[in-house]
Amino acid sequence: MAYGLLKGKKGIISGALDEKSIAWKVALKAKEEGASIVLTNAPIAMRMGEIKKLAEACEAEIIPADATVVEEIENLYTKSMEVLGGKVDFVLHSIGMSPNIRKGKAYGDLNYDWYMKSVDVSALSFHKFLQVAEKMDAINEWGSVVALTYMAAQRTFPFYTDMAEAKAMLESIARSYGYRYGKLKKVRVNTVSQSPTKTTAGTGIGGFDKFYDFADKIAPLGNASADDCADYVITLFSDLTKMVTMQNLFHDGGFVNTGISEDVMGLLD
Ligand SMILES: NC(=O)c1ccc[n+]([C@@H]2O[C@H](COP(=O)([O-])OP(=O)(O)OC[C@H]3O[C@@H](n4cnc5c(N)ncnc54)[C@H](O)[C@@H]3O)[C@@H](O)[C@H]2O)c1
């Protein structure tokens, strides 16, 4: 059911790779809620062609941009403002990648060039999205910027390796830039810390299926799906949450505050 929460708003949605992507669901719901959007992803992700289906469904243009390259982000905002007919009201950063995780490197055997790449793609890119937007004055007052994160920023999950540091940095950028952009333009910046979700990025992490099941058994509400996450992100883009900023918001069915559950105790019998 649509509520018209984003009626008349314009936004940029990054990170929709295929229909499992969290960003894919956010794009569909943003459209459903009345927004006009543009989609963006790394040029290499375009080759897979899936995003074109989403663009058709959302009547959206696709503007390729490698999120690590400032000039490409500048082009993204310039073209988005052209296509959408003005500044944007919301931006979704749904981007993460670790070469060390892809190659199965243990935390004690990380390749440092790859480590830098993980941080650049998964965290610094968020600062770049914000800094470029500020310099170009590309986001309307009371606009909302959301990035997706994971609880490994606060707690240790052994297979998350260098992405844990990248997420900690991402969340810190949300606080620091949230302060700055709030003062300057009343733009708010938050991160949403999502449950394990069966996407390309998610399932690439070693032991994913086990910790997906474990989280599902710990959280009193179970794991939050990508669709649920999209609903939550839409509320953060809407005016109903306009005083929420600089927060890391857990969207995890209650996992973060649960010590142990009967379900998990049952497994130990
Ligand atoms: N899946 C999970 O379990 C989970 C849990 C919590 C948070 N998250 C976060 O959600 C976000 C979205 O991931 P997802 O699970 O939907 O997986 P996904 O694989 O569908 O999305 C990741 C996206 O990042 C994009 N990307 C990678 N490098 C890029 C670059 N240089 N420039 C631009 N885009 C680039 C990919 O093309 C892809 O579209 C990520 O930040 C991820 O860490 C995922």
pLDDT digits (tens, 9 = 90+) for 18-55: 999 999 999 999 999 999 999 999 998 887 779 999 99
Nearest in space to 35 (alpha carbons), one of 65, 64, 2:
2
For atom 22 of ligand 1, the residue with the nearest CA is: 95
Task: Please indicate whether residue 67, judged by its CB atom, sits closer than 6 Å to ligand 1.
Answer: yes
Pairing of strands 36-40, 61-62: parallel
Query: How far apart are the CA of 15 and the centre of ligand 1, in A?
Result: 6
Q: What single-letter DSSP state applies at residue 242?
A: T
Average pLDDT, the chain: 96
Structure tokens at 184: 């300057």
139-169: per-residue pLDDT in tens?
999 999 999 999 999 999 989 999 999 999 9
Please tell me the least confidently modeled range out of 69-83, 116-130, 198-212: 198-212
Angle between helices 22-32 and 50-58 (to 10 degrees): 20
DSSP characters over 1-32: ----TTTT-EEEEE---STTSHHHHHHHHHHH
Alpha carbons 75 and 191: distance in angstroms, whole number: 24
pTM: 0.98
> Domains in the chain and their CATH numbers?
10-268 (3.40.50.720)
Average pLDDT over residues 205-232: 95
Task: Please indicate whether residue 150, judged by its CB atom, sits closer than 6 Å to ligand 1.
Answer: yes
> In the chain, which residue ranges form alpha helices assigned H by DSSP?
22-32, 43-46, 50-58, 70-84, 99-102, 112-119, 125-136, 161-185, 200-203, 208-218, 226-237, 262-268
Query: How far apart are the CA of 31 and the centre of ligand 1, in A?
Result: 20
